[in-house]
């Protein structure tokens, strides 16, 4: 079902400062600083082989990323696993006891369609399923 780890997100307080630090390891971010207003974040993406590493900074105090940063601080945020069909994959994991937090896929960056899984069912780890043409 899972084809690969598509991206790993790290949550940060200061995206510009984090980009400068991560640039030492991975070069310039692809596309510069981007915005995902529906999630209340700005972000920067680095391509590491076939996987994206994404730095995420909440904009404001509302939304899941802002609440996560407030509760957990900076660092690892979530892993996104690529699947062929996010709706079918969510039905499959749900039938096996992993609660899917989204009723419908939401639009991520580019053509990414994502659905979040409950960290309560995954021993505190934050995962999401992702469908993409890439």
Mean pLDDT for 47-54 is: 96
Judge contact between 40 and 59, C-beta under 8 A.
yes
pLDDT at residue 83, as a whole number: 98
pTM: 0.93
Mean pLDDT for 76-83 is: 97
59/13 Cα distance (integer angstroms): 9
Looking at residue 100, the DSSP 8-state letter turns out to be B
pLDDT at residue 2, as a whole number: 96
93-130 per-position pLDDT tens digit: 999 999 999 999 999 999 999 999 999 999 999 999 99
18/64 Cα distance (integer angstroms): 20
Is the pLDDT at 134 greater than 90? The verdict is: no
Judge contact between 40 and 58, C-beta under 8 A.
yes
If we measure between CA atoms, which residue out of 82, 25, 1 comes closest to residue 10?
25
42/32 Cα distance (integer angstroms): 10
If we measure between CA atoms, which residue out of 63, 58, 26 comes closest to residue 43?
58
pLDDT at residue 28, as a whole number: 95
86/115 Cα distance (integer angstroms): 7
Judge contact between 126 and 72, C-beta under 8 A.
no
- Residue-range domains of the chain with CATH: 2-131 (3.10.180.10)
């Amino acid at each position: 079902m899972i084809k690969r780890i598509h991206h790993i997100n790290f949550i940060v307080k200061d995206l510009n400062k984090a980009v400068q630090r991560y640039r030492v390891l991975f070069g310039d971010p692809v596309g510069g600083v981007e915005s995902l207003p529906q999630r209340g974040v700005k972000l920067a993406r680095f391509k590491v082989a076939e996987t994206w590493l994404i730095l995420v900074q909440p904009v404001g105090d509302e939304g899941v990323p802002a609440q996560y940063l407030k509760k957990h601080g900076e660092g690892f945020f979530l892993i996104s696993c690529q699947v062929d069909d996010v709706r079918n994959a969510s039905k499959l994991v749900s039938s096996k006891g992993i609660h899917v937090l989204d009723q419908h896929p939401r639009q991520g960056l580019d053509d990414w369609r994502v659905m979040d899984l409950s960290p309560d069912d995954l021993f505190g780890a934050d995962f999401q399923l992702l469908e993409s043409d890439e």
